[in-house]
Structure formats: C-alpha cells, structure tokens
C-alpha cells in the first residue's frame, strides 16, 4: 500500500513547512517540482513555494535530475544573499530556501525533517508573454501590441533591472543574467519582476564570449555580458510594439534567425517600415528623431559593438523620458489582457512535461492520459468531449456515485448529466520554452481549472493525470 508518487501533491495539501509556511493551494506541476500558493504563518502574507519532487516520482535513469535540483537550490541560496537584487522591486525575492526542514503532513499525520524547497514572494499576474500574446475569442492566440506610452512604462522597468544587474552599488559585483525574455518576467499589479535565476552569474566569473540561453535571442555581433542582456531587452520592447502587425522579428526558422539575417542584409528597418505603412500607420516606430523608439532600438540592434550604447546610456535615452500611463491605468490595461492579474493566479493550472514528443503526438498522449485518469477516478472525473476552444478537451467532476441508484444512469454514459456537474476543467497541448534547464522548447499538457469545486478536487485530478504521464516514462 501507501500512496503512489502521483499523490505527493495531494498529500501535501495543508502541510506545514519549517513551522512557518502552510501549503494552501496547488498551482502547477513543473519539470522538477510542484508549485504552491502558501501562507506565511508569521506574517499572514501569501507566498509561493516550490516543493521538489521525490526521486520516486521520476522514471528510472533520471538520476541526473536530482543533481540539477540540488544545483537549483544552491543557486537560490546564493542569490538570496545578494541584498541589492532581493530588495529591487523588479526582482521576485527569494525569502527562504528550506533544507532538511521539518514538514508536518495532515493527510497522513506524519512529520519529518525531510523538506527541500524554495520560498519566494507571490506574484498574481503570470508571465509578461501572456500580455503580448493573448487568446482569441475563437480559439488560438494573437499578438496584442502595447501603445507607445504603455510599452515605455514596462520597458523603463526592464532597464531599471539591467541597471541593478550591471551597475550595482559600490563594492558589489555586477551580474549577468543571460536569459532575459518576456517569459522570465511576471506581473504583480503594474510591476514587472524577474523570476528565473538559474542562469544568473557574476560578470567576473564569465570566461569567454557571453551567449544568450534562448536561440531566438542569440546574435553573432555582441559577446560581452552587458550587451547580450541589453539586446534581449530590446527584443522585448520590439515585440511589445510590433507583435500585432509585423510579428516577432527575431524568430528562428530553418536554422536562421529572421532578425539577424535582415540586419546583415540591411533590410531590418526597411522591412518594419514597409509593413507598418501597410497595416499600422500610427505606430511609434515610424517616427524618427533623437527621442524616438526607433532611435533607441537602432542603438541596441547594431552589428558593430563599438557603435552600440551601454545600459547606462540607454537609461538616459530621451525616449524613456516620454509620457507613461498612471499605475492605475496600466493595471487596468494589463487586467483587460489577462484576467488572472490582481485576483490571484487561475484557481488551478498544472503543466505536465511530455519530453520530446511532437505537438501532434502530444494530442494523442493527452487523449490517452485523460481516458486513463478518468477511468482511475472510478467516475468522479468524466471526459466531456471537445472544449469550447479548438484543440482542447473538457473534463467534468460529478457529484453523484458512478451508478445513480434512482435512474440507473452511469456517469460515463449519461446523455444529460449537466445537473450533476460540479466542476469543469480543460486540457490542451502547448509548445513552450518554459523548461529553461533542458535548454529547449518542450511540449506539455496544460490542465486549467475553469469553474466550481474545491482546490482538493483539482489537486486530485492533476495527481491522476500526473500518474498516467509518469507511467509513459517520457524523456
């Protein structure tokens, strides 16, 4: 007996960690661990806790994963000591890194000094990427550019972060991130916060040419740490201004980076200008002059390093001194784009890594996993057919026994069981660069809690799905 590895998240619900943190809400399953909304019992504030998976939750031959988890803990411990970054408003602060901490599990009544994890401040708004590429009403995704003042409001914060990294207080070392991108910033109110520290290192410790971790942000022109981070920040600004009409300029296809190729050919700005003249004549990137966004970006996207500006010079660029929305106006715009902000993360979102599976194979795997998970639930969770959006599958939770004694109708074959549905969930397959440690895009199943029921029910369903995914032993 005993609970299987997929029940780890379910059993930890309500667990008390190090006598200070209570795991209240299961948010997601990642590559190496589980994410939780938790309560700091000393301050009464909500925090985010990452609990690491046990060795038994990985398929055979995954010993190297344990070493990577230890490395992640050590990086978090090291970064937590860099006070000028931890106190910076554009960095998600590491509050504590419990090692061998006491954990009390109410579901089993057991306790032991066996907990390893990372506690950070909690941000409710999700990744910046979710505000630049948003869902269509008809399904799928669409680019949604910011106007000039809005983009300036957000880019000022990114520049402020780069200043903190590369121009620290006297006596402190400069830091190089190496993976600046929209997926590594989350939104809290109207504030951007850096969330990923796995690539962070002291500039003085970098030997040889610096290189960005994400292929689409790599370029052959600049090899010093500051310029690599600044180039990546420039891509975020460009996407914020162009994604609705021109799309992503720096995109890898057939082994070639579109933006880099156009820069080498002298076609970068002419291509942007032509497309904007056809589709968005009011775009600020058509403006020229010393105080224009194009002028600022043209000083970042240059092929000759000696002609580019440093972060400190960019921070003083006149474009950044232009008008911006108020914090209230910016919050309203961000909330319009992504409903999770200011009201907590979605009630539940879990992700299940499918390794190197293709998106097409991922759809087949998702259907199989849902069928097996629902069967294992003995009728508590029911596969309800295609969801409202293309490519999604709906799952319902029922509040009746598997065989209704009054009608003889089973959950799995009911023609009209709407009155028994107490919760709705949707699953879809997506491709993302979420897994930074693997250094590649991954295909994953996304489970989203739509309406109804309790956190414990969502946790139970995600545990069932995780159990079936783990049995597949995907790599």
- pLDDT for residue 401 is more than 60: no
Average pLDDT over residues 449-472: 73
Mean pLDDT value across the chain: 82
pTM of the model: 0.69
Percent of the chain at pLDDT exceeding 90:
41
More confident residue, 470 or 252: 252
- Helix H or strand E encompassing 104: strand 101-105
- With H, G, I as helix, E, B as strand and everything else as coil, classify residue 134: strand
Instruction: Specify the pLDDT at position 208.
Output: 86
The string of pLDDT tens digits covering residues 284-324 is 999 999 999 999 999 999 999 888 899 999 999 999 999 99
Instruction: Specify the pLDDT at position 94.
Output: 93
Distance CA 264, CA 271 (A): 13
The string of pLDDT tens digits covering residues 406-418 is 444 444 444 445 5
> Given strand 381-386, what is the order of strands in its sheet?
349-353, 442-452, 421-432, 393-398, 381-386
Instruction: Specify the pLDDT at position 229.
Output: 97
Instruction: Specify the pLDDT at position 348.
Output: 57
The string of pLDDT tens digits covering residues 192-220 is 999 877 788 899 998 889 999 888 999 99
Distance set, CA 96 to CA 93, 138, 193, 200 (Å): 9, 43, 18, 18
More confident residue, 184 or 67: 184
Average pLDDT over residues 159-174: 96
User: CA angle at residue 16 from 14 to 18, to 5 degrees?
Assistant: 160
- pLDDT for residue 147 is more than 80: yes
What are the beta bridge partners of residue 16?
22, 104
The string of pLDDT tens digits covering residues 64-118 is 667 777 888 888 899 899 999 999 999 999 999 998 888 887 766 778 877 788 9
- pLDDT for residue 251 is more than 70: yes
The string of pLDDT tens digits covering residues 21-57 is 998 877 765 556 777 888 899 988 889 998 876 555 5
Instruction: Specify the pLDDT at position 8.
Output: 54
């Amino acid at each position: 007996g005993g609970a299987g590895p997929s029940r780890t998240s379910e059993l930890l619900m309500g667990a008390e960690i190090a006598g200070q943190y209570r795991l209240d809400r299961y948010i997601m399953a990642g590559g190496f661990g589980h994410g939780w909304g938790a309560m700091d019992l000393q301050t009464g504030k909500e925090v985010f806790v990452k609990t690491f998976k046990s060795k038994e939750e990985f398929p055979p031959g995954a010993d190297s994963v344990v070493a990577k988890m230890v490395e992640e803990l050590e990086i978090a411990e090291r970064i937590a000591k860099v006070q000028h970054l931890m106190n910076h408003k554009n960095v998600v602060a590491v509050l504590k890194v419990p090692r061998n901490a006491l954990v009390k599990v109410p579901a089993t009544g057991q306790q032991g000094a066996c907990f390893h994890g990372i506690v950070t401040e909690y941000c409710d708004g999700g990744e910046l990427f979710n505000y630049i590429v948003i869902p269509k009403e008809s399904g799928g995704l669409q680019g949604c550019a910011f106007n000039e003042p809005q983009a300036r409001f957000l880019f000022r914060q990114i520049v402020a972060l780069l200043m903190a990294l590369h121009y620290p207080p006297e006596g402190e070392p400069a830091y190089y991130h190496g993976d600046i991108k929209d997926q590594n910033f989350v939104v809290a109110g109207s504030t951007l916060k850096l969330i990923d520290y796995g690539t962070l290192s002291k500039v003085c410790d970098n030997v040889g040419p610096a290189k960005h971790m994400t292929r689409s942000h790599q370029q052959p022109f600049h090899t010093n740490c500051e310029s690599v981070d600044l180039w990546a920040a420039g891509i975020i600004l460009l996407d914020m201004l162009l994604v609705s009409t021109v799309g992503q300029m720096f995109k890898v296809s057939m082994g070639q980076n579109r933006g880099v190729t156009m820069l080498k050919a002298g076609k970068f700005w002419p291509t942007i200008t032509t497309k904007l003249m056809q589709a968005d004549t009011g775009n600020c990137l058509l403006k020229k002059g010393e105080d224009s966004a194009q002028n600022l970006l043209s000083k970042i996207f240059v092929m000759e390093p000696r002609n580019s500006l440093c972060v400190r010079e960019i921070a003083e660029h006149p474009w950044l001194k232009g008008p911006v929305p108020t914090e209230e106006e910016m919050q309203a715009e961000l909330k319009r784009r992504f409903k999770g902000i200011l009201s907590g993360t979605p009630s539940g979102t879990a992700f299940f890594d499918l390794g190197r599976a293709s998106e097409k194979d991922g759809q087949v795997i998702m259907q199989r996993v849902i069928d097996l998970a629902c069967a294992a639930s003995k009728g508590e969770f029911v596969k309800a057919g295609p969801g409202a959006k293309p490519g999604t599958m709906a799952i319902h939770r029922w509040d009746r026994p598997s065989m209704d004694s009054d009608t003889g109708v089973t959950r799995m074959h009911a023609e009209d069981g709407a009155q028994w549905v107490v919760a709705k969930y949707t699953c879809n397959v997506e491709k993302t660069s979420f897994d930074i440690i693997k250094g590649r895009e991954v295909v994953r199943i996304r489970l989203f809690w739509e309406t109804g029921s309790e956190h414990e029910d969502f946790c139970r369903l995600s545990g069932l799905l995780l159990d079936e995914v783990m049995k597949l032993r995907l790599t």
